[in-house]
Structures are given as C-alpha cells and as structure tokens.
Amino acid sequence: MSPMQLFIEYSIVGIAAGGIYALIALGIIVIFKASHTFNFAMGEMMMLSAYFFYAATVTFTLGPVVGMIVAMVGSILVALVIERVAIRPMLGRPFIAIVMVTFGIGSIIRGVVGMVWGPNEMNIPAILSRSPVMLGDIFVPGKTARAFAIAVVIVVGLIAYLRFSRAGVALRAAAESAVTAYSMGINVRNVVAFSWIIAAITGCISGVLMANVNTLTPHLGMIALNVLSVVILGGMASIGGVLVAGFIIGWLEAITGLFLPSEFREITPYVLVLIILLVKPTGLFGGKEVERI
C-alpha cells in the first residue's frame, strides 16, 4: 500500500471516530449552555447506558430494538435523578463545587457498575454489520463506518432541532441569561432538565455505539475525558462547532498513531487541549465564554 493510501485510510478512520466524539461533546455542551454546569460524569452516563443495553439484550434476551429503548429510558431516568438530587441543590454555588459534584457522580457510577457487572470486558450483541465499506479502493472497517454514519445523522438532527424548535430557543435564551429568560416566561428549571435529557440521549447512543466498536468495560467512560478537547476546540458553548471539532480531534488522533508509536495516541487530545488553551482559548467557534483577567 502506498504511503498516501495509508494516510487516507488512517484519516478516514480518525474522522469516523470523531463522529462519536461530536455526539458525546454535544451532550456536555447542551448542559453547559443550559446551566453553566460542566458535566464530568458524561462518560459514566454513557458507559452506564451501554450496560443497560447489555442487561436488556444479554441478561434478559430482549431484542436489540427493545434493548435500545430500555437503555434509553434507563439513561434518561438516571440523568433526571442526577439533576434533581445532586445538581439542583447546588444552584448558586461556586462553579468548581458543581464540577466536583459531577466528578463525584462519575465515581459513584463507575463504582456501582464495577460492583454489579465486574471489571471484565464484555461483548454486547452486534448491532452494526462487520462487512467493510469500500470507498474506491480504500478500506473502511464496517462497524466504524456505520457508527460514524449514525452518530453524524443524530448530531446533525439534534443541532437542527436545537436550532429551530421552541425548546432550542428556550435553551439559547437560558444560556444568554437565566434571569431574563425566567422573566420572559421560560421555565428555566425545565430547560435544565431538558438539557439533561438530551445529554442522556446522546450518551446512550454514543455508549452503545462505542461498546459495539470496542468492548464494554467500566472504563469505557474515560473516552469522555478525551472529548474535553473537542469541547474546548469547538468553543465551550458552540453547538454547531462540535462536529467540526470532533472530526479534527479524531483525525489528529489517528494521524498521531500513524507517525508516532501508538501509545502517543492516548495523550494527543490532552496535548492539543494545552495548545488550544495557549493559542486560542475561545476555540474555533466560541466567543464570550472566555473571560480573561
């Protein structure tokens, strides 16, 4: 294979992984926009939904469609409980206190999953076909290609929904100023709960897709920490920016694997984050969220 072909193949796989990154990042950003809460438990919410899917399809031998519904409902319920029990009482408290709460929640979910399902790798029933997709004479692994397609369709759909629906307008109004939105008759509490539901949905889909492409372990959620670089690159509160940023980060990660020993891949997102913070902390599409002092 020519080096050029290898480069293109790596690039495609990387960009494909970026699709799922964008999906996860969207869940983080929607909550951030609605309530200025940065959800460090996103990865764990995603991992937990994949385990719900596992329980429904393997333990209770339901079909993948019912399994997906069970996972989705479970994921949304968990998100609403988190919002009601742990996040709402923290309203008005310092920013870092809320970040630490979400961090603690992540730790709880990881621990509970570890106790219930154990630390070993598990396989969920394949919902994505393995047969590779050929683009010309370039080979794209089947699961990666299909996961990418699903992720992008959902990300684009959600972006459009948030752009044009009433709920999306309410979300943007709350992001602009919670007090003004409230005085205009928008129920800001519901907007926050709504944002957690959106995050639960993106988390559930990305979790099941990730568990399909890789295997399922309690550490599946760690991927969400890599996604932080997507959020920063896109610009903290830019819903539209996630897709582009996701592709860029996914691509750079794959390219790093091509030029450097593969272990460097795992720190690529973090090195990128530091570079972005140094060069352009607003990200590509962000704006007023960065306050210099």
Partner 1 sequence: MSSTVDNSAMTITKASPLTANRLWLLIFIVALAAMPLMLPGYWIFFAGLLGINIIATHGLNIMMGYTGLLSLGHAAFVGVGAYTVAILQGRYGMPFWVTIPTAGILATVIGIAFGLPSLRIRGLYLVIATLAAQFILHFVFVNWESVTNGDVGLSVAPAVVFGIALNDETSIYYLILFFVVVSTIFARNVIHSRVGRAFIAIRERDLTAQVIGVEIVWYKLLAFGLGSFYAGIAGALLAYFNRFVNPEQFGLLLSVFFLSAVIVGGMGSILGAILGAAFVTLLPEFLRETSLLIGSSLGFDLATILTPLRETIFGLIMVAFLILEPRGLAQLWTRTRRKLLRERA
The whole-angstrom separation of Cα 223 and Cα 226 is 5
How far apart CA 95 and CA 278 sit, in angstroms, is: 22
The region of 66-74, 153-161, 207-215, 268-276 touching partner 1 under the rule CB under 8 A is 268-276
Nearer to partner 1, 109 or 201 (CB): 109
CB of 281 to partner 1, least distance (A): 5
**What CA–CA distance (Å, rounded) separates 148 from 151?**
5
Q: Which of 50, 52, 74 is nearest to 211 (CA)?
A: 50
Name which position in 10, 38, 247, 251 contacts partner 1 (CB under 8 A). 38
Q: Where are the alpha helices (DSSP H) in 36-141?
A: 42-54, 64-82, 95-117
Site for partner 1 in 179-238 (CB under 8 A): 218, 225, 228, 232, 236
Nearer to partner 1, 108 or 160 (CB): 108
Residue 90 interacts with partner 1 (CB under 8 A): yes or no:
yes
Q: Could you say which of 14, 19, 43, 106 contacts partner 1 (CB under 8 A)?
A: 106
Q: What gap in Å lies between CA 122 and CA 140, rounded to an integer?
A: 24
* Residue 84 or 163 having the CB closest to partner 1: 84
Other C-beta atoms within 10 Å of 115: how many?
Answer: 10
Residue 99's closest CA among 57, 10, 56, 37?
Answer: 37
Position 118 contacts partner 1 (CB under 8 A)? yes
Taking alpha carbons only, the member of 74, 53, 69, 224 closest to residue 122 is 53
Which two three-digit tokens encode residue 137? 């004479």
80 binds partner 1 (CB under 8 A): no
Among positions 89, 125, 157, 287, the unique one binding partner 1 when judged by CB under 8 A: 89
Enumerate residues 148-177 that contact partner 1 by CB under 8 A: none
Q: In sequence order, which ranges of 83-187 are alpha helices (DSSP H)? A: 95-117, 142-164, 166-176, 178-183
Residue 195 Cβ vs partner 1, minimum distance, rounded to whole Å? 17
Determine, following the binding rule CB under 8 A, whether residue 267 of this chain makes contact with partner 1. Answer: yes
Using CA atoms, how far residue 98 sits from 80, 236, 269, in Å, is 16, 17, 24
**Which of 33, 110, 143, 146 forms a contact with partner 1 (CB under 8 A)?**
110
107/215 with CB nearer partner 1: 107
Do 272 and 252 touch, CB atoms closer than 8 A? Answer: yes
Binding to partner 1 by CB under 8 A, coded x per residue (else -) over 270-289, reads xx-xx--xx--x-------x
**CB closer to partner 1 out of 67 and 257:** 257
Which residues of the shown chain bind partner 1 in the complex (CB under 8 A)? 38, 86, 88-97, 99-101, 103-115, 118-119, 218, 225, 228, 232, 236, 263, 266-267, 270-271, 273-274, 277-278, 281, 289-293
